[in-house]
Structure 1
Amino acid sequence: MNKQMLAAAVSAATYMAAIDAHATNGDQMIGVTATQWGMAGAVVAAPQDAGTIMSNPAGLAELGMKEVRFDMGFGLLNPPRKANGTESDSDYYLIPSGAVAFNVNDRLYLGMGMAGLSGMGVDFADIMAAAPGAQAVVTTKQFYKIAPGFGYKVNDKLSIGAALNIDYQSLAIHNTAFTLPQNQVYGFGATAGLIYKFNNRLQVGASWISKQSMDEFKWNTTAGRYAMTMDAPQQFAVGVAFKPMPGLLIEADVKHIGFSDVLGRVPFQTPGGPSAMNFGWDDQVVYAIGVQKEINSKTIVRAGFNYGKSPIGREDVNNNIGSLAVTEKHLSVGMTRKLSDKVSASLSYMHAFHNDITSNVAPRNKIELEQNIANVQVSYLF
């Protein structure tokens, strides 16, 4: 009987334990470097820096370096969000990133990238409008990827590439039903891509990121053991880049993110028996367009727009109280300034416009989110 009561309590509380994933396109960061953020993530067909190892490894062969390129930076994410009008007490997150590419010979290029790609968390003191009082929800999630790989120039028109994904994920959950302390797991996946040039003005790119298969989280508590596996979604992307005149680049990308496979229904083992986290996330199709203009020999400016319908629908709000991945429209600006023949600095800013969703079934919970993301990048090219 005690186990049955515990299982029922866990099932009732799982919607409050949902992991906050407020990294713009669902729980996936739009970019890795300031350059990518400035283009609103439209970088599959015409990569600008070594960060392409994370999105399309074929781009390593298209960076125009003689020997080596380094791109190091960080981002500051400010995601004001609310659940039933209550603001989260944690509002700033640091996002590290870095990538390097090496010219081995005229055809082979090696690279490695490291970046935080999803996660963060919430800290709500009381979120339940239907049952106010001591309904705290605190979550912390981090997903970090290391990607060694290569790009290979098959000929003047075609480049291909691939990378191994080495993943790190940590997770902690606290609510009225249980407290699961910070724990971490590891996993693996792969990325592959190509770029094809029709001529000097037009080229296309495509990339595939496999599902990231993660180890099982296991938490030992005074009530017994909890366990859960949270994989990261498979992604497909295609892009078209057009250069209508010297110094001007326009790129448009479409990306499919398979959230339903990994965040639809997640089995959750509890001391009282098997349960599930019924997040109910839908697959997401993301549209991005970016424009880059060379002002002079030292200065480049960028702007972009990114749209992806929220993977959380009205019918699933009550299962995602702590999971505020509902932003849809994103506008970005950025610039690069050449500091010397080898060193340049890039800045970007993106705003994700406010969006809110209210449950269409009782209780009528409401979740809402907007975002501000600033990135700084220093590059060395030789």
Structure 2
Amino acid sequence: MKRKLGPATLAVATFAFAGAAQATNGDQMIGVSATQWGMGGAAVAAPQDAGTILTNPAGIATLGIKEVRFDTGIGLLNPPRKVNGFESDSNFYMMPSGAVAFNVNDRAFIGLGMGGLSGMGVDFPDVAAAPGNQSFVTTKQFFKVAPGLAYRVTDKLSIGGAINIDYQSLAIYNAGFSLPQNQVYGYGATLGAIYKLNDMVQLGASWISRQKMSDFKWNIAGGNATFPAPLGFQTWTGGTAELQMDAPQQISFGIAVRPIKSLLIEADVKHIGFSDVMNSIPVTRTGGLPPSVPAAFNFGWEDQWVYAIGAQYDLNDRTQLRVGLNYGESPIGPEDVNNNIGSLAVTELHATVGVTRWWTDRIATSVSYAHAFHNKVTSNVAPFNTIELEQNILTLQVTYRF
């Protein structure tokens, strides 16, 4: 899609593009549903709801579904954040999710999952150390729909797969330029497997492919402006700017253990390939564009290893309690802070709690709370910008099965 852009300089584009992308593990949410959040994101080996079709599709074959199961929910994200001491407005974001899974026969299951898996935004009145000392506002959304299926190969092994249909939107506004709301679509795939080693131990693995997105495109009008030396006064005729922002590949492994019938403990490790999609994003330039339009946005994100552990305790036949921890080193290092002045994707340690209550044999509600502890990163090169973030996430979920 294309949008018209006024004849303003794009000098601070590098700072703003990443500004919309921030969440928990880099720009990826650690969970889809309240049960996943309550386990600290550790859910690849022993999933607890139909939302597993988005993370490990094999899981829908392990839920004991007799006919059909629905899981739907909403998350409320509160991310207090600062750049050089300036606080961002727009501090609340909604994160919808939902999934349904059907029992086709004793071994085959089909399902559909959907959810907002990445994105947020910033709304800073000023960023002192940024060029021009100007305010800027950004929004980014990434939403996935995943139809899939699972098959119970044996009583011990289940496999599954899902097709990913992706939607992504991006908008950037500041005093230097504006990139109006733009939507693109993409695709990918998810594969997974779960193996029950014995009555106590269960193993899981999943692979989410790189999500290939279509290109964002903007029309840039002709104009003129005076730039810092040595450029000076410049005139341009106008043209287009185009870039592609894919979502990263993810590979996860997990082990779940039940030392006693009422206690489940799971530990997961996940690799997120940020360096393939957020290291350097080329910009395709056509026509006569202002010299401030770069050839690439060099964000410099590094791959991330994520470690999650969660525990679930059955208080009784109808109530389950959960607690979890999740850690992943920030993909943004001190050397790249100045290229990510709006990208506050720096939280590392998360603590989570959750509870599920079955009101009847068919209906349950789940609630989880997650806190991403405050973290800040300061540039080790001039102008020594500092970005900082913490997060609070409350998630509600309703389950119906029959």
Q: TM-score, normalised by structure 1?
A: 0.95
Compared CA separation, residues 372 and 196, structure 1 to 2 (3 A): same
1:217 — aligned with what? 216
Decide which moves more: 212-221 or 246-255. Answer: 212-221
CA offsets per residue over residues 166-206 of structure 1, 9 Å max, x none?
00000011234321000100000000000001101101000
- Given the alignment of the two structures, is residue 352 of structure 1 paired with residue 359 of structure 2, yes or no? no
Q: Using the alignment, how far apart are the partners of 2:303 and 2:68 within structure 1?
A: 38
Q: Superposition pairs for residues 1-382 of structure 1, below 5 Å?
A: 10=10, 13-129=13-129, 133=133, 135-223=134-222, 224-270=239-285, 271-272=289-290, 275-382=295-402
2:234 — aligned with what? none
State the shift of 1:20 in Å: 2.7
Q: Does the aligned pair in 2 maintain the 1:203–1:242 contact within 8 Å? A: yes
Q: Does the aligned pair in 2 maintain the 1:18–1:277 contact within 8 Å? A: no
CA offsets per residue over residues 39-79 of structure 1, 9 Å max, x none?
01100000000000000000010000100000011000000
State the shift of 1:130 in Å: 6.3
State the shift of 1:137 in Å: 1.6
CA offsets per residue over residues 306-347 of structure 1, 9 Å max, x none?
000000000000000111000000000000001111000000
1:3 — aligned with what? none
Unaligned runs of 5+ in 1: 1-5
Decide which moves more: 120-129 or 14-23. Answer: 14-23
Q: Using the alignment, how far apart are the partners of 2:281 and 2:326 within structure 1?
A: 28
Compared CA separation, residues 68 and 12, structure 1 to 2 (3 A): closer
Q: Using the alignment, how far apart are the partners of 1:54 and 1:327 within structure 2?
A: 23
- Amino acid in structure 1 at the alignment position of 2:397: Q
Q: Using the alignment, how far apart are the partners of 1:154 and 1:13 within structure 2?
A: 51
State the shift of 1:12 in Å: 5.4
State the shift of 1:297 in Å: 1.0
The SS at the match of 1:379 is strand
Q: Does the aligned pair in 2 maintain the 1:17–1:175 contact within 8 Å? A: no
The SS at the match of 1:64 is coil
Compared CA separation, residues 381 and 130, structure 1 to 2 (3 A): closer
State the shift of 1:225 in Å: 2.1
Decide which moves more: 239-248 or 271-280. Answer: 271-280
Q: Does the aligned pair in 2 maintain the 1:61–1:152 contact within 8 Å? A: yes
- Amino acid in structure 1 at the alignment position of 2:177: F
Q: Using the alignment, how far apart are the partners of 1:169 and 1:222 within structure 2?
A: 25
Compared CA separation, residues 16 and 274, structure 1 to 2 (3 A): closer
Q: Using the alignment, how far apart are the partners of 2:181 and 2:132 within structure 1?
A: 27
The SS at the match of 2:46 is coil
The SS at the match of 2:18 is coil
Equivalenced residue count is 376
Q: Using the alignment, how far apart are the partners of 1:177 and 1:259 within structure 2?
A: 28
Q: Does the aligned pair in 1 maintain the 2:16–2:138 contact within 8 Å? A: no
**Sequence identity of aligned pairs in percent?**
66
State the shift of 1:376 in Å: 0.3
State the shift of 1:298 in Å: 1.1
Q: TM-score, normalised by structure 2?
A: 0.91
- Amino acid in structure 1 at the alignment position of 2:185: Y
Q: Does the aligned pair in 1 maintain the 2:103–2:109 contact within 8 Å? A: yes
Superposition RMSD in Å: 1.7
Compared CA separation, residues 276 and 327, structure 1 to 2 (3 A): same
State the shift of 1:132 in Å: 6.4
- Amino acid in structure 2 at the alignment position of 1:63: L
Q: Using the alignment, how far apart are the partners of 1:52 and 1:160 within structure 2?
A: 12
Unaligned runs of 5+ in 2: 1-5, 223-238
